[in-house]
Structure 1
Amino acid sequence: MFIPKLYKSEDDQLMREIIRENSFALLISSVDKIRATHSMMLLNEEDTENIYIESHISRANPQAKALKDGDEVLCDFLGAHAYVSSSWYDHMNVSTWNYEAVQIYGKVKLMNQEELYRHLEKLTSQYERFQKCPVMTKDMGRDFVEKEMKGAFGLKIIPTEIFIKQKLSQNRKTDDFRNIIFHLENGDENGKKIAEKMKQLKK
């Protein structure tokens, strides 16, 4: 990911926030050819000093058939993003896009049966708990879950490089910056999120 110095972030908490809030991300590899799979990802923070990504994809996926321990992959997380119109400036310029993103390069470590079960247990709990009638892994029964697991390919991604980008009109003068916020606040939910992020920059 190309990150001009102005937009580069070293904020570890921002990185964690983007991953937690945008966990349906791209798993990219180039073992045999370039492959990309949208998949659910969990940030494992049990050891806060040695975090890693947990994910799973279909065992029938060609990407799963190619990956093995030690292979390098890229996890791509796109956070809030919004279009910025050139009409919001007080001078002639070009339109652009404001956004937050995280990319993590890492080494693959394949999950064993028990690790995959715990991963699915955590993933189910994270999203089912908000349902009116949640169905947790324990409600399905171990035998049923393990039968379904035969079709899942679980993997951990141990980070080797982490890149955090926060492009929020930092290059704009004060009046244009404020005007961008004003228009974004009157836009869609993504626009409102970006506007709030921009306001936080000036605190």
Structure 2
Amino acid sequence: MFIPKIYKSEDQELMKKIISENAFALLISDKEKLSATHSMFLLNETDGDFYLETHISKANFQAKVLKDGDEVLCDFLGAHSYISSSWYEKTNVSTWNYEAVQIRGRVKLMTDEELYRHLEKLTFKYEKVQKCPMFVENMGEDLVRKEMKGAFGINIIPTEIFIANKLSQNRNEFDFENIILNLGESNNENSVKIGEKMRQLRS
């Protein structure tokens, strides 16, 4: 994706935060035909580097065609909100503020053991906050291995990273503060988040 320089970020911590908080994202490929699947992602860090993990149903078209070395694009959309031109001091166009990450990478198919560990980590991430967490070890290995026969596990080794952090950086102080004020009065959770992120940007 094209990101104007003013909105382009190199902040790896911001990237990790966007991925972690918006992990249900798009896996996009164009092998044989353009395809996209919503799936759960994990970011796995090793020795300063990182790669992505995900799995999709084996019934999915992408599971039938993707092989080691194929290129995919992973698209993560974070908080986002409409910005009305009525909030500006002078007449201008409306826009949209947002944070997003796109990672282009190469596929490395998971082994059965890697898929099992992936499901353990993924389940732990979302079950640990439940009142009565159901971890993989509570389900029984036989059941999990039976169910995972229908899953297609993928590691994605990044080749390009794009981080967009569009938060009205091009606006003067009056517009910037007025945008925050209006976003804070919204009943939309994403709008409130964008306002908070704008405030943090100039705090």
TM-score of the superposition, structure 1-length normalised? 0.98
Match of 1:136 in 2: 135
Partner of 2:25: 25
Partner of 1:176: 175
Look up the SS of the partner of 2:49 in the other structure: coil
Aligned to 2:71: 72
Shift of 1:97: 0.6
The one-letter amino acid paired with 1:99 is Y
- Equivalent residue number for residue 42 of structure 1: 42
Output the amino acid matched with 2:86: S
Aligned position for 2:157? 158
Q: CA deviation at 1:91?
A: 1.5
* Displacement of 1:48: 4.4
**Letter matched to residue 198 of structure 1:** M
Which stretches in structure 2 are left out of the alignment for 5+ residues? none
Q: Shift of residue 108 of structure 1? A: 0.2
| SS in structure 1 of the partner of residue 73 of structure 2 | strand
Q: Deviations over 1:94-153 (max 9, x none)?
A: 111100000000000000000000000000000011111111101110000000010000
SS in 2 for 1:159: strand
Relative distance call for 1:84 and 1:48 in structure 2 (3 A) is farther
Shift of 1:92: 1.2
The answer on 1:196 being equivalent to 2:200 is: no
Identity percentage over the alignment?
Answer: 68
Could you tell me how far apart the structure 2 residues matched to 1:77 and 1:48 are? 24
For residues 3 and 175 of structure 1, the distance between their equivalents in structure 2, rounded to whole angstroms, comes to 25
Please tell me the residue identity of whatever aligns with 1:151.
G
The match for 1:98 is 97
**Contiguous gaps of at least 5 residues in structure 1:** none
Q: Could you tell me how far apart the structure 2 residues matched to 1:50 and 1:130 are?
A: 28
Structure 1 runs, 4 residues or longer, greater than 4 Å off: none
Q: Distance in 1 between matches of 2:58 and 2:25?
A: 18
Equivalent residues in 2 for 1:53-68 (5 A)? 53-68=52-67
| Map of 2:86 onto structure 1 | 87
Question: Map of 1:10-21 to 2, 5 A cutoff?
Answer: 10-21=10-21
- Counterparts of 2:79 and 2:167, CA distance in 1: 11
RMSD: 0.8
Q: What is the TM-score when the length of structure 2 is the normalising length?
A: 0.98
Correspondences of 1:108-123 after superposition (within 5 Å): 108-123=107-122
Q: Name the SS for the 1:9 alignment partner.
A: coil
Q: Which amino acid aligns with 1:21?
A: E
